[in-house]
Amino acid sequence: MNNQEIPPYLDRLNPEQQQAAMCIDGPVMIIAGAGSGKTRVLTFRIAHLLKQNVDAFNILALTFTNKAAKEMRLRIETVVGADAKNLWMGTFHSVFAKILRIEAERIGYPRDFTIYDTDDAKNLIKSIVKEMAHDDKLYKAGIIYNRISSAKNNLITSQDYGKSPELVEGDASSGRPEMAAIYKKYAERCFKAGAMDFDDLLVNTFLLLKNHADVLNKYQHKFKYIMVDEYQDTNLCQYMIIKRLAAVFRNICVVGDDSQSIYSFRGANIQNILNFSKDYPELNVFKLEHNYRSTSNIVDASSSIISKNKEKLDKKIFTNNEPGEKIKVFRAMTDNEEGRQVAQSIFEDKMQKQLPHSAFAILYRTNAQSRSFEEALRKMNIPYRIYGGLSFYQRKEIKDLISYLRLVVNQNDEEALKRIINYPARKIGNTTIDKLTVLANANDLTIWQVLERLHEFPSLGSSMSSLRDFHTMMRSFISMQEHKNAYEIAEYVAKQSTLLRSLHEDKTVEGVSKYENVIELLNAIKEFTEDDTNEQEKTLSIFLQDIALLTDADKDDGNGNDRVTMMTIHSSKGLEFKHVYVVGMEENLFPSQMALNSRQDLEEERRLFYVATTRAEEKLTLSFATSRFKYGNLIPCEPSRFIDEIDNRFLEMANFMSQPSQVNKKPDTDSGYGRGFGLNTGKPGIGRSQPVFTRNIPSSPVSADFKESDTSALQAGMNVEHQRFGQGEVINVEDNGENRKALIRFNEVGEKTLVLKFAKLRIL
């Protein structure tokens, strides 16, 4: 390998990247640290395969987003030419959907099956819960959907689920004994509607390969070279499919970073990458450890964070970039003040450094945290967008027209039919729709099949005429597929359904916006039909598949580019910004309270923090509040343990009083993370010599005999002591039942209102 001559087209890679790109035979694992040029290596590795006369049709490349696949394909084209169009490249879901359309008959599905998004799936679950007369407060659609999704990711079908005593008992103990029956009914209704949800695209591909040896053999010999990006985020189902497909030639290359495995809640299993060498003992391993993205302060600080994890692959990330600014840590008294501080910092940096708004990102652990930052940015006239908010294709008017088009392609699509059968209004109310559903289920038909045989169901009474008109209209749309392209059908449907006219008649600002959105959708379909660079079929079915499989990273909210980006840390993976603010750095928020039950959960939270810090190119700021409103109450907060896990030489406390240089606590060695908050440097016996950040700031020294008092008799005039705020006098006590509050004037930090059941006060 080392003696191979380096082809000129690989000159732009560093030596490690070149070796990884040129090793094309046998199993390969590329461990790619943050900012190490992973996409570039993948791109040139595929180009190198094509230059070695490997047929593009024999290469399968699975990427994290469709956008990434498209960008890679264009880059590969610049090296090898038009042959790149023949690559099988895309996300797991888009590639497997393509296979399933080809092989649909083998598993009893129509080729033009519908792909249900999360909303469709949850609406179907709601219908089933209602039909089965269950309590919808107990059997919430979101809970059931997640339970079914988790089962599918672990290859547990609806038939298997009901046969598992452990699962059935677990549901019974949670008060949902009918979960197995709902899952079974859900699977039956999806099949009957010719629809698959996102998880079905994976599970049905696995079952197709498992149950049909000839199909497995076909794709094993088709995909002689397989590449999988973000391998640390694969689940059991994805792992099993890839293992089967690669079994013949074993030319499998996986790329990933165990330090960025953050999707266990979706079923991702970090063991897939940690144990890859056990499946392939002859494995070649390449490590991309040179970070090109961030300053050395950010790179080294991030390394000091992730070094606290025990479950990890060995690597040493480095950079030749400038040291850059230290990581700033902001402390705020409340979450609203935190929002103001961050907005002010963005404004100052933008003005001083002449940066666009798009250079800034605010990352948080949960979407609920966005409010205070939105308000602060609005007050300062700083434009922003919330990434992962309502996307273009999730807007009501867009989903309405798309539902018409889905029904044109697949008449058994129950959710699409229910959505548009009375929109625009045509005198078909909910009572009639319920009757249709009952008739369909009682006669083992789809709702469309009931419409096809209306004369057999006189019980529909006065609605018969409206139902017949709807059926006739849809029939005219369906017949157009034989001689019209996707755009011509969509334009005709938008007009003849009167959907476009009803929106045009609404002259409110909102109505005009909705009309313009539908016109934009029609433009998108026209662009799709005229795109000569896209080799796939230009059918309506393929267009609908493409938009159904857009990932969060592929979606655009249409708000323009020069805006501050706000998003959850999970959504930020794969992105980078010049200035990053990681906010809400508090215990029980980040790390999440849900992650404190096991080492595995805590280590994933730490990996999430690592992902957040490595998004920053030039400047990283961390912030926390010492109190935060939760459920209407002001709750005291403690700074996150993760801040203290960063080596102190990389930190700058932006608005802190000087603190003692030592804290008389020992690191909690048993739990795998430092709990000294000021003492733990990762080196035994070494304390920090400069002012440090501790959890209890600002505060007076807490009394050695501090013990929480019973505050049921607390009243104005009493002197008290708090673990963080020190000593103070009670000004007023407000009796709100179990949420009693006290206004206390502390000597160090002034007046604070505390909820007594959380406050932990010592009465002096």
Q: What single string gives the DSSP state of each residue in 303-316?
A: HHHHTT-SS-----
Token pair, residue 404, equals 């018409």
CB atoms within 10 A of CB 531: 11
Is residue 326's pLDDT more than 60? yes
Catalytic site residue 449?
A: no
- Active-site option among 17, 18, 39, 727: 39
Cβ–Cβ < 8 Å for 752, 744: yes
**268 forms bridges with which residues in the sheet?**
235
pLDDT tens sequence across 162-215? 999 999 999 999 999 999 999 999 999 999 999 999 999 999 999 999 999 999
pLDDT of residue 461: 86
The segment with the largest mean pLDDT, out of 216-220, 599-603, 749-753, is 216-220
What is the distance between the alpha carbons of residues 443 and 234, in angstroms, rounded to a whole number? 41
At 708, the pLDDT band (50, 70, 90 cuts) reads confident
Question: What whole-number percentage of the chain has pLDDT above 90?
Answer: 68
Is residue 641's pLDDT more than 80? yes
At 670, the pLDDT band (50, 70, 90 cuts) reads very low
Q: What is the mean pLDDT of residues 666-695?
A: 32
Mapping DSSP onto H, E and C, the string for 430-474 reads HHHHHHHHHHHHHCCCCHHHHHHCHHHCHHHHHHHHHHHHHHHHH
Sign of the dihedral defined by the CA atoms of residues 77, 79, 80, 86, in that order: negative
Catalytic site residue 25?
A: no
Residues in CB range of 638: below 8 A, 6 or more apart:
586, 587, 588, 695, 724
Q: Position 239: which residue type?
A: Y
- Active-site option among 287, 419, 573, 615: 615
Is residue 545's pLDDT more than 70? yes
What is the distance between the alpha carbons of residues 492 and 199, in angstroms, rounded to a whole number? 33
Angle at 452 between CA 451 and CA 456, to 5 degrees: 80
Of 263, 346, 742, nearest to 581 (Cα)?
A: 346
Sheet arrangement for strand 59-62: 88-90, 59-62, 225-228, 252-256, 28-32, 284-288
Is residue 125's pLDDT more than 80? yes
Token pair, residue 368, equals 């609920």
pLDDT of residue 688: 29
At 701, the pLDDT band (50, 70, 90 cuts) reads low
Catalytic site residue 576?
A: no
- Active-site option among 16, 19, 38, 413: 38
pLDDT of residue 290: 96
Q: Mean pLDDT in the chain? A: 88
Place of tokens 């003692």: 660
154 exposed, middle or buried (CB, 10 Å; 0-12, 13-18, 19+)? middle
Catalytic site residue 17?
A: no
Is residue 23's pLDDT more than 90? yes
pLDDT of residue 621: 98
Cβ–Cβ < 8 Å for 115, 201: yes
Cβ–Cβ < 8 Å for 616, 577: yes
Calculated CA dihedral for residues 118, 535, 227, 195, nearest 10 degrees: 30
Place of tokens 């090296």: 79
Token pair, residue 69, equals 């696949």
Q: Which residues of 18-32 are buried (b: 16+ CB within 10 A; e: fewer)?
A: bbbbbbeeebbbbbb
534 exposed, middle or buried (CB, 10 Å; 0-12, 13-18, 19+)? middle
- Active-site option among 103, 197, 230, 415: 230
Cβ–Cβ < 8 Å for 720, 763: yes
Is residue 646's pLDDT more than 90? yes
- Active-site option among 117, 171, 199, 229: 229
pLDDT of residue 704: 64
pLDDT of residue 232: 94
Catalytic site residue 229?
A: yes
pLDDT tens sequence across 328-381? 999 999 998 999 999 999 999 999 999 999 999 999 998 888 889 998 999 999
What is the distance between the alpha carbons of residues 683 and 673, in angstroms, rounded to a whole number? 13
pLDDT tens sequence across 557-595? 445 579 999 999 999 998 999 999 999 999 999 999 888
Q: What is the mean pLDDT of residues 23-31?
A: 96
DSSP 385: E
* 111-120, 252-261, 386-395, 614-623: range with lowest mean pLDDT: 386-395
pTM of the model: 0.80
Residues in CB range of 521: below 8 A, 6 or more apart:
398, 401, 402, 490
Q: What is the mean pLDDT of residues 278-301?
A: 96
- Active-site option among 238, 260, 432, 545: 260
pLDDT of residue 741: 84
Catalytic site residue 234?
A: no
